[in-house]
Amino acid sequence: MEIHKATFIINPRYFLPIPNSTHHAILVSPQHRPLQRRKLLKLRPHFCCCSSSHSPVVKDPILEAGNESFGKNDYKNITRKKRVFFLDVNPLCYKGSTPSLLSFAHWISLFFSQVSLTDPVIAVVDGERGNEYRRQLLPSYKAKRRKHWHQFPGAGKSPRSMVETSHRLVLDVLRNCNVPVVKIESHEADDVIATLVEQVLQRGHRVVVASPDKDFKQLISDDVQIVMPVPEFNRWSFYTLKHYVAQYNCDPRSDLSLRCILGDEVDGVPGIQHVVPGFGRKTALKLLKKHGTLENLLNAAAVRSVGKQYAQDALIKYADYLRRNYEVLSLKRDVRIHIEEQWLDERDARNDLLVLSNFITLLKESRILNSQNSSHSNG
């Protein structure tokens, strides 16, 4: 049995255009056909395997009394705010650098059952040709991911068609779990999320971005957190403003500038240490703490001394190099999309257990049959 012949088929009638968008946005509308709770309770969540006998409990640090030094009134105001999750789908479909639908199923099941619960979740996927703009600036941008298309199970002679089938399966799971999915042509999910985060904050809500992507650290604030999968502990973990300051000892507004100097190996963005080996994290942090942003630092270096001679020379000689990194790594906040009020409603989670159990069973059966078919063909 091939995966694309399974029962998880997306009906085209559920794909509706997002209003006020000229980029052919796609919304997979949640399908409201709740199942009876007594049926769901009979299923065993075999997909939520953990390394210990106790399931990890993931708590939101901002709601934990004593974890933050808020005043009494500030604490009450923060806890009253609605929490809205943005799910960065594409990275969850990889185990390391290898595509894996089982990895997606595992992390999404933990996310629904232990992190988001019934809070609203908006899933975002990369649009077609979403990377083109950044790849024109820097051909090495996310080049490693393109090399692994052929590794989807059963890809065989048509890897692109298999990727598209896998993509449809993922969207169908999210739709059946009552999660709206947004995809905008020619835009990466990161930029769509950054744009929508601003709109949610303007409505007075808090935001949690669910993603392992370091790019989202540039969004961190009192009202924006990240929750990321941590494979070593088989759990999701919150990353807040407090964690960022403790880790880097600088303002999150300097995060983008810091990454422009240090580069991002995962995304294929080289740092300045590739051309000036002595220019490392310590030097970059010291300069950014004084000047605030990369642009301020470069402007200052152009007219006066800002540090040791090797750093001064590097900032002048490689200013265009660093500005290109800034253009590649900065999240755009001007994608033409508008948040829909129904996306902010409480999520109906009653389908989760059945949908994810069936999805896991489908993947395991498909893998076994694909393996058997491969053995027969080789024999």
Q: 4-44 pLDDT, tens per residue?
A: 333 333 333 333 333 333 334 455 444 444 433 333 333 33
pLDDT tens by residue, 241-268 = 999 999 888 888 889 999 999 998 888 9
- Burial 209-247, CB ≥16 within 10 A → b, else e: bbbbbebbbbbbeebbbbbbbeeeebbbbbbbbbbbeee
3-state helix/strand/coil string of 12-30:
HHHEEECCCCCCCCEEECC
How far is Cα 259 from Cα 264, in angstroms, rounded to an integer? 7
Residue 347 per-residue DSSP state: P
pLDDT band at 145 (very low <50, low <70, confident <90, very high): low
Q: Does residue 83 have a pLDDT over 80? A: yes
How far is Cα 111 from Cα 58, in angstroms, rounded to an integer? 9
pLDDT band at 124 (very low <50, low <70, confident <90, very high): very high
Residues 6 or more apart whose Cβ sits within 8 Å of residue 77: none
Predicted TM-score (pTM) above 0.85: no
* Side-chain-facing half-sphere of 173: CA atoms under 13 Å: 30
Residue with tokens 């059952």: 113
CA distances from 59 to 36, 55, 82, 107 (A): 28, 13, 16, 16
- The amino acid that residue 69 corresponds to is S
pLDDT tens by residue, 274-300 = 899 989 999 999 999 899 999 999 999
What pLDDT score does 332 carry? Answer: 94
Average pLDDT across the chain, whole number: 78
CB 176, CB 108: distance < 8 Å: no
pLDDT band at 366 (very low <50, low <70, confident <90, very high): confident
Q: Which of 237, 242, 240 is nearest to 114 (CA)?
A: 237
> Which residues lie across from 171 on neighbouring strands?
none
What pLDDT score does 165 carry? Answer: 83
How far is Cα 74 from Cα 376, in angstroms, rounded to an integer? 66
Domain boundaries, the chain: 83-249
Q: Which CATH architecture has domain 83-249?
A: 3-Layer(aba) Sandwich (3.40)
pLDDT tens by residue, 157-186 = 455 667 778 889 999 999 999 999 999 999
Q: Which of 222, 179, 212 is nearest to 85 (CA)?
A: 179
The first and second tokens of residue 141, run together, are: 């941008």
Task: Report percent pLDDT > 70 for the chain.
Answer: 71
What pLDDT score does 12 carry? Answer: 32
pLDDT band at 209 (very low <50, low <70, confident <90, very high): very high
pLDDT band at 97 (very low <50, low <70, confident <90, very high): confident
What pLDDT score does 266 carry? Answer: 82
How far is Cα 112 from Cα 232, in angstroms, rounded to an integer? 19
Give the DSSP letter string of 279-338.
Answer: --HHHHHHHHHHH-SHHHHHHHHHHS--SSHHHHHHHHHTHHHHHHHHHHHSPP---S--
Range with top average pLDDT, 20-34, 86-100, 222-236: 222-236
What pLDDT score does 340 carry? Answer: 96
Residue 34: count other Cβ atoms within 10 Å of its Cβ. Answer: 12
